Amino acid sequence: MKEKVNQYLFVSLGCIIASCSINLFLVPHHFLSGGVSGLAMIFFYLFNLPIGLQIFIMNIPLLAAAYRILGKEYTVIALYGAGVFSAAVDATSFLAELSILDDPMLAAIIGGVLSGIGSGLIFRVNGSSGGLDIVAAIVKKKYSLNVGFVGFAINCLIMLAAAVLFGLKLAVLTLISMFVAANLIDKVVEGFNRKKSIYIVSYKTEEIIAAILQEVGRGATILSGQGAFTRQEKPVIFVVVSLTQIAKIKSLVYEADPYAFMIMHDAAEVMGRGFTLPGARGL
């Protein structure tokens, strides 16, 4: 029950933030958004039709398709998200009159940031605000098409229409805003608590582990490995560290064994003792 409440709260907050992005930064400069919102904004600029109302009307056939293909549970959260987003867009339409930023480039960037944060909050709890979210979910379940490609193709058509109707400059700035938003969505969904996971292969395992424990204060895990050519057993050290500890780890490993083999990967949302729980060093 608590999880469901949190889901609806995050969807509501995300929809409000995204709607403020549209009215504060996109509409005053005649920028567009992606998907259904972008289409609604085109008709708003041409015929002054309410953006939020258009978004909800355009979502009706998509929601009907979602109910048939994706089931009731998904459709309920998508209907809620589409309703809140549509209402929030029209309720905050007065913000467009403020024109708080005169610089189109800055407006595109900040608009993309807010839009990305809003959408990221929605996706983080597996929610939906309708539109392309529904299309992506249907494509993923029903057809063997790449979801990202479908969304990209639809947004390209919207950008082409924007370039024809309103000029190339507007289309380019809109693309910048959408690029910023897409990157922020990933950050919000994955989390800002970025870490690095490191694999170390060396014959001086004990020296390296001792250095990591003493100098960095971080725990490690020893994995069992085997050389493909020699078939010789090789322990593999696995450790997760913060970004500020990477240089220290590299220095310690090189000092213990200049020939050590080391691989680093990005890690997000690291949870457990030593990271999100107090007490141990982790691993």
CATH number, domain containing residue 262: 3.30.70.120
Q: Which of 170, 190, 210 is the last residue of a domain?
A: 190
pLDDT of residue 243: 80
**Residue 31 within any structural domain of the chain:** yes
Q: Are residues 180 and 209 in the same domain?
A: no
Give the DSSP H or E segment for 139: helix 132-142
Place of tokens 């994955």: 190
Half-sphere exposure of 252 (CA within 13 A, CB side): 20
Mean pLDDT by 10 residues, the chain (283 residues): 89 96 95 91 94 96 92 92 97 92 94 93 89 81 65 80 88 90 81 82 91 88 86 89 86 92 83 58 54
Q: Are residues 139 and 62 in the same domain?
A: yes
SS3 at position 282: coil
Q: Are residues 27 and 95 in the same domain?
A: yes
- Long-range own/partner contacts, residues 72-79 (CB < 8 A, 24 or more apart): 74/128, 74/137, 77/7, 77/8, 77/11, 77/127, 77/128, 78/128, 78/129, 78/130, 78/133, 78/134, 79/130
pLDDT of residue 272: 67
pLDDT of residue 165: 86
pLDDT of residue 39: 92
Buried b (16+ CB within 10 A) or exposed e, 57-79: ebbeebbebbeeebeeebbebbb
Q: Which token pair is 75?
A: 């459709």
pLDDT of residue 145: 61
Full residue range of the structural domain in which residue 250 is found? 195-267
Q: Are residues 137 and 203 in the same domain?
A: no
Q: Are residues 27 and 137 in the same domain?
A: yes
Q: Are residues 32 and 56 in the same domain?
A: yes
Give the DSSP H or E segment for 19: helix 2-21
Domain count, the chain: 2
pLDDT of residue 63: 94
Rounded to the nearest 10°, the torsion over CA 240, 190, 113, 138 is 160
Which sign does the torsion angle of CA 117, 119, 121, 124 carry?
negative
Q: Are residues 214 and 161 in the same domain?
A: no
pLDDT of residue 158: 84
Q: Are residues 255 and 120 in the same domain?
A: no
* Rounded CA Rg of the chain: 24
pLDDT of residue 49: 95
pLDDT of residue 192: 63
SS3 at position 97: helix
